[in-house]
Amino acid sequence: MSRLVLKFGGTSVGSLERIEAVAEQVMALRSLGHQLVVVVSAMAGETNRLVEMAYRLSATPNPRELDMLMATGEQVSMSLLATVLSARGCPARSFTGGQAGIVTSSVHGGAMIENIDTAALEANLAEGAVAIVAGFQGCDAMGEITTLGRGGSDYTAVALAAALAADECQIFTDVDGVYSADPRIVPSAVRHDCIRFTDMLAMAEHGAKVLQYQSVHSAYELNVPLRVLSSFTAGHSTLVTFDHLCPVKPIAGLAGVAQLLITIPSKYLIEFRTNLTELNLQFQLLQEQADDVTLIVCDSDEGKIPLELKQRIRHIIKVFTLSIVGQSAETIRHHAIEALSLQGIAVHQYSLADSRLSLTVDSDDYPQAATLLHEKFVVCDEFIDNAPLLAVS
Amino acid sequence: MSRLVLKFGGTSVGSLERIEAVAEQVMALRSLGHQLVVVVSAMAGETNRLVEMAYRLSATPNPRELDMLMATGEQVSMSLLATVLSARGCPARSFTGGQAGIVTSSVHGGAMIENIDTAALEANLAEGAVAIVAGFQGCDAMGEITTLGRGGSDYTAVALAAALAADECQIFTDVDGVYSADPRIVPSAVRHDCIRFTDMLAMAEHGAKVLQYQSVHSAYELNVPLRVLSSFTAGHSTLVTFDHLCPVKPIAGLAGVAQLLITIPSKYLIEFRTNLTELNLQFQLLQEQADDVTLIVCDSDEGKIPLELKQRIRHIIKVFTLSIVGQSAETIRHHAIEALSLQGIAVHQYSLADSRLSLTVDSDDYPQAATLLHEKFVVCDEFIDNAPLLAVS
């Protein structure tokens, strides 16, 4: 018998039929004798629906009230799941974040979990009942409802798994594991049975969407093994675990993130830098050339750049930064750039870090570049281990 | 400066535009210097939407989980109202039932308010902020979320008004007060500026929909004056107050309730009586005639009568029981029956009680009978006070 924390995201509980399917999965695991805590997100689209109402009423909704509003999304899905389980004879009880004992900081919209009083959940598990917990939310020390920010339900699941000393934290999503690249872009991507935390952290940090960086980082810090499974198809999964427990792969995978290359006259650099820093926008200074300077910002931040700064921009290029992650990543830099250039794909910049090689290409070149790099360097372990590096072309 | 508890029902907060209109009304009252606690229902249709989801998942949803689910409806509307007020510079803060200190019994779906710890609300009012409270909900002593049953938001408002020693509890609805009859049926119905609790209780008990009997009764017991106002049009209102504070009207009004006259063979009476009692259905034994017996049940209970009992029924007639309420109600019995019969309207039965005359007519005759009785006896105070009774025809 294991103690498991399961987490089902918004798509997994996106309709009443999906909630019934989740109930089946929960009951199947319970019938194996496992103790279960189930963390649920809001039904897909519900958080957006709520947030849109608030933004129609105010351009800058009061953060406390926004949390009060958003927290209802998970409360609906948790009570519906508990309703199905009860109706099918499986003892189950839902808990809001506050009722589950999740105490957070008081930062509305981005609270951190400070403490979990597991008494109520432990009592529930001792009775043999499944505990359903609203993800993404908690209460601060004053009893105010807080939310945990993006990826918050994964964070809830990881923190609960640590506090309850669970054997695994299982993240149910719409894919059946962690792949060596995004399968929608790179059809030859392969699923890992096991991936080391070090590699998973790098993948998540550089664009892999299957797991959020913060929750992987929390799991790593809190010593919680993560398993990624599909809530739609049973069978496969990927275990994210500690490095000494997982065989080394020279290259673990390829992740990509959409960015913008912004070129401005050098004289505006200070103004730009000050403004972006004040707005808390991540940016990276790329190069100075003649009187121009080039910066990289995240594609999704485009709308946040103030109009007066936009007027300074000389030109913008949409790019993708592809990151090859794994112990051998640094060794293939020359080969990777050469392979891309042979296909006529220009590399705007590259960067090397501990077990990672990142290459920035035009947005239009992204699928071809990703597929090429994946086939040459990710699924070709033999090459990296055995073949002389110069043989690559 | 007064301290007021305002209550806005589902239609009053039924859209974002309506919530903005409510915010305007709240701010107008605040600008007069009043201390305000605002109780809100769920947006119109929202509770039904939630409950329907639960019933699609289970024929008998777990009552605890149903409360957990339904409670989100008011949490949404309260946070949206607080969002608008904050955005417009009016300090405001929303409170779930539990956060407002409302402690209830543990009866899910029909909890009673046992105690209100007003500390959080008092602190909020002392800061000069408007308190927005989710109606219809509370927490039991164990912190479990409960709901208060039908009319629950009015009940919340009345109980808060009592606990906070408010000067008035103002119920905002879709009509601008209490009328002498339902204006949709009786166009000549007139609005009262003031109505005595005794009359209002009788009106609510016998079919007036403007206020729920339970909340009027609570207000009466808790010494809370009620005011009924429109959330759509400003200006008029009705104050429901203690008898010594309101001028006597010989006849205060006319209310009607849809019922069924059910005739069964006498030999099935015991079976019927036992079954209806077990099902907690209200019924009234009307008459025995030859081998038959006639009962009255509420029209809305028709679906709850078990099939095996329905097969025993000889015939069913849809009727309305009209109740004339007021100190002089008993004195007009003969005139009322005579007036109806002169118009060819049969009275199936009548009953007299303290300050009330009830007459049961065919459903088809209801609008004509109501208008006739209203014109002859309700808006004609002069007649009752001055004219000899026999002059009526």
- Contacts of residue B19 in chain A, CB cutoff 8 Å? 57
Tokens of A128: 């043999």
Please indicate whether, in this complex, the C-beta atoms of B84 and A58 are within 8 angstroms of each other. yes
Cβ-Cβ pairs closer than 8 A, A with B, add up to 108
Inter-chain residue contact A61 with B16, CB threshold 8 Å: no
Kindly report, residue by residue over A78-101, the tens digit of the pLDDT.
999 999 999 999 999 999 999 999
pLDDT at A1: 79
The residue ranking higher by pLDDT, A150 or B210, is B210
Q: How near does any CA of chain B get to the CA of A13, in Å? A: 13
Fold of B3-245: Carbamate kinase (3.40.1160)
Torsion of CA A113, A114, A119, A123, to 10 degrees: 20
Chain B residues within 8 A of A69 when measuring between CB atoms: 75-76, 79-80, 83
Identify from A62, A88, A144, A145 which residue to disrupt to test chain B contact, counting B C-beta atoms within 10 A and taking the largest count: A62
Residues of A with CB below 8 A from B108's CB?
none
B3-245 matches B253-391 in fold:
no
pLDDT at B381: 54
- Chain B interface includes A146 (CB < 8 A): no
Exposed (0-12), middle (13-18) or buried (19+): which is B141, by Cβ within 10 Å? Answer: exposed
**DSSP for A333-391?**
HHHHHHHHHHTT--EEEEEEETTEEEEEEEGGGHHHHHHHHIIIIIS-HHHHHHS-GGG
Highest mean pLDDT among A53-57, A286-290, B290-294: A53-57
Inform me whether the C-beta atom of residue A373 falls under 8 Å from chain B C-beta atoms.
Answer: no
* CB-CB neighbors (< 8 A) of B84 in chain A: 57-58
In which band, very low, low, confident or very high, does the pLDDT at A378 lie, cut at 50, 70 and 90?
A: confident
Rounded Cα gap, residues B333 and B95, in angstroms:
50
In this prediction, what percent of chain A has a pLDDT beyond 90?
A: 73
Beta strand residue intervals within A183-291, DSSP E: 194-196, 226-230, 237-241, 253-265, 283-289
| Candidate from B16, B50, B60 with C-beta closest to A56 | B16
Residue at token pair 């015939």: B315
Which chain A residues contact residue B123 at CB under 8 A?
Answer: none
Taking chain B (393 residues) in consecutive chunks of 10 residues, what is each chunk's mean pLDDT? 95 97 96 97 96 97 98 98 98 98 97 97 97 98 94 95 98 94 92 94 92 93 96 91 89 92 91 88 82 89 87 92 91 92 92 90 95 88 41 31
Q: Does B143 touch chain A (CB under 8 A)?
A: yes
Helix (H, G, I), strand (E, B) or coil at A96: coil
3-state secondary structure of A199: helix
Q: B95 and B78 in contact (C-beta within 8 Å)?
A: yes
Whole-number Å distance between alpha carbons of B231 and B235? 10
Spell out the residues 6+ positions from residue B178 whose beta carbon is closer than 8 angstroms to its own. Answer: B191, B192, B195, B200, B203, B208, B210, B211, B228, B238, B240, B253
- The residue-averaged pLDDT of A116-144 equals 97
Domain segments of chain B: what residues? 3-245, 253-391
First to last CA, chain A: 52
What part of A 233-292 touches B (C-beta under 8 Å)?
none
Please give the distance of CA A36 from its chain centroid, rounded to a whole number: 23
In this complex, the residue of B16, B56, B83 whose CB is nearest that of residue A62 is: B83
Interface list for B 205-224 with A (CB within 8 A): none
Radius of gyration of chain A from Cα atoms?
Answer: 23
CB contact under 8 A, B68 and A82: yes
Residue found under tokens 């259905």 = B281
59-88 of B, contacting A, C-beta below 8 A = 59-62, 64-66, 68-69, 71-72, 75-76, 78-80, 82-84, 86-87
Contact A65 B79 (CB under 8 A): yes
The residue type found at B334 is H
Query: Are B84 and A20 an interchain contact pair (Cβ–Cβ within 8 Å)?
Result: no
Structure tokens at B376: 């002859």
Query: In Å, how far is A40's CA from the nearest CA of chain B?
Result: 14
**Are B57 and A19 inside 8 Å of each other by CB?**
yes
By C-alpha distance, the chain B residue nearest A61 is B83
Residues 6+ apart with CB under 8 A from B19: A57, B13, B77, B80, B81, B84
Q: Answer whether A374's CB lies under 8 Å from A189's CB.
A: yes
A128 pairs with which residues across the strands? none
Strands A237-241 and A226-230 turn out to be antiparallel
Residue A360, pLDDT > 50, answer yes
- Region A238-253 average pLDDT: 90
Pick the CATH number of A3-173 from 3.40.50.1980, 3.40.50.880, 3.40.1160.10, 1.10.260.40: 3.40.1160.10
Determine contact: B139 vs chain A, CB below 8 A.
no
CA distance A89 to chain B (A): 11
What homologous superfamily does CATH list for A253-391?
A: VC0802-like (3.30.2130.10)
Q: For residue A340, what are its two tokens? A: 């891309």
8 Å CB contact of B76 and A20: no
Interface test with A, best of B72, B74, B88 (most A CBs within 10 A): B72
Is A65 exposed, middle or buried, given 0-12, 13-18 or 19+ CB atoms closer than 10 A? buried
Which residues of chain A lie closer than 8 angstroms to B53, CB-CB? 16, 76, 80
Amino acid B20 reads E
Distance from the A304 Cα atom to the nearest Cα atom in chain B, whole angstroms: 21
Inter-chain residue contact B54 with A82, CB threshold 8 Å: no
- Residues in chain A closer than 8 A to B66 (CB atoms): 79, 83
Of residues A45 and A288, more confidently modeled? A45
pLDDT recorded at residue A373: 93
Record the tokens describing residue A258, joined without a space: 């959409």
Interface test with B, best of A38, A74, A76 (most B CBs within 10 A): A76
pLDDT in tens, B341-370: 999 999 998 989 888 999 999 999 999 999
Distance CA B2, CA A349 (A): 69
Q: What is the mean pLDDT of chain A?
A: 92
Residue B170, helix vs strand vs coil: strand
pLDDT of residue A391: 30
Spell out which residues of chain B touch residue A71, defining contact as CB-CB under 8 Å. 75
Q: How far is A290 from chain B (nearest CA, A)?
A: 47
Collapsed DSSP state (helix, strand, coil) of residue B90: coil
Please name the member of B56, B68, B94 whose beta carbon is closest to the beta carbon of A65.
Answer: B94
Q: Is B19 on the interface with A (CB under 8 A)?
A: yes
In SS3 terms, B189-211 reads as CCECCEEEHHHHHHHHHCCCCCC
Nearest CB partner across the interface for A68, out of B57, B75, B87 = B75
* Candidate from B64, B68, B83 with C-beta closest to A57: B83
Pick among A80, A124, A133, A140 to test the B interface (most B CBs inside 10 A): A80
